[in-house]
Amino acid sequence: MTDDASPDLRASDTDRDRIAEVLRDALAEGRLDMEEFEERLEAAYKARTYGELAPLTRDLPTTGTVPPAPVSFVKAPAESGSWTGRIVGGGGSSAGGIAILSGFERKGHWTVPKRFSCFTFMGGGEIDLREADFADREVEINCVAIMGGVQVIVPPGVEVVVRGIGIMGGFEHPRDDGPPEPGAPRVIISGVAFWGGVGVERKVTRAERQRLKEQRRQEKLERGEARRELHQSRREERHELHRARREERERRRNRER
């Protein structure tokens, strides 16, 4: 915790261990006696906030012992140009799709044209843009759904504008994931839904979903290992404290003799 950090912020186990280390050094240097050390050590491990930790080392001539300010976990903006390789120009690999009492799909690696048109009548279509390239920085997907439906899947970071009209039907807007990423394409969803619907959903790719799953698993393992190390450290701390108490009692008995 720096001087301008709020004393009400929650302290971590690392913060408490750092203070305990300072107290041990102070005991070894004779700055604290055993009774003061035990009181402050117990208070350190019971502390919940930076404000409760700070007084424990305030009168000790040490530097860098107060916990650092918490790290910000606000997501950093995407690096500009990360979408450059997916804006390929030219024409698309598919100009449209038709589903009459049937269905169609556009998914995987394909190129979305500047205007993609689709028509469904008592059928359905799926347009997946997660692994797609784009012929232009702004593309339009025009959907006409009559007693049918179209599902559009877009990756995070893409700006989506829905301009379709629903007649006894509707156009679904995707959830808001914040501002679009720099350089990301703009996707306009237009058309008409009559007794049908057009849905728009944000999803990550299967590979990205698997990567995030593996990342969470690894973080869980690391947290478990950190907890085990912390418990071992505290057991050693208690053992050291008991040993120091025994030595202190022995010194007192020797002085009384």
Is the pTM for the entire model greater than 0.85?
no
Query: Can you tell me whether residue 135 is helix, strand or coil?
Result: coil
CB atoms within 10 A of CB 221: 10
Let me know if 24 is exposed, middle or buried by CB neighbors in 10 A (0-12, 13-18, 19+): middle
Let me know if 186 is exposed, middle or buried by CB neighbors in 10 A (0-12, 13-18, 19+): middle
Q: Which residues pair with 105 in a beta bridge?
A: 126
- Each residue's pLDDT, cut to its tens digit, for the chain (257 residues) gives 444 456 778 888 778 878 888 888 888 788 888 788 888 888 888 888 888 888 888 888 654 444 444 443 333 333 434 687 889 888 888 889 999 999 999 998 999 999 999 999 999 999 999 999 999 999 999 999 999 999 999 998 899 999 999 999 899 888 877 788 888 999 999 999 999 999 999 988 766 666 767 777 777 777 777 777 777 877 787 778 878 778 777 877 777 76
Amino acid at 109: H
Q: Can you give the pLDDT at residue 62?
A: 57
Structure letter (DSSP) for residue 224 = H
Closest CA to 19 of 84, 61, 67, 52: 67
Rounded to whole angstroms, the Cα distance separating 143 from 109 reads: 21
Q: Can you give the pLDDT at residue 68?
A: 45
Q: Can you give the pLDDT at residue 209?
A: 65
Crossing angle of helices 34-46 and 13-28, rounded to 10°: 170
Q: In what order do the strands lie in the sheet with 197-202?
A: 103-106, 124-128, 149-154, 197-202, 170-171
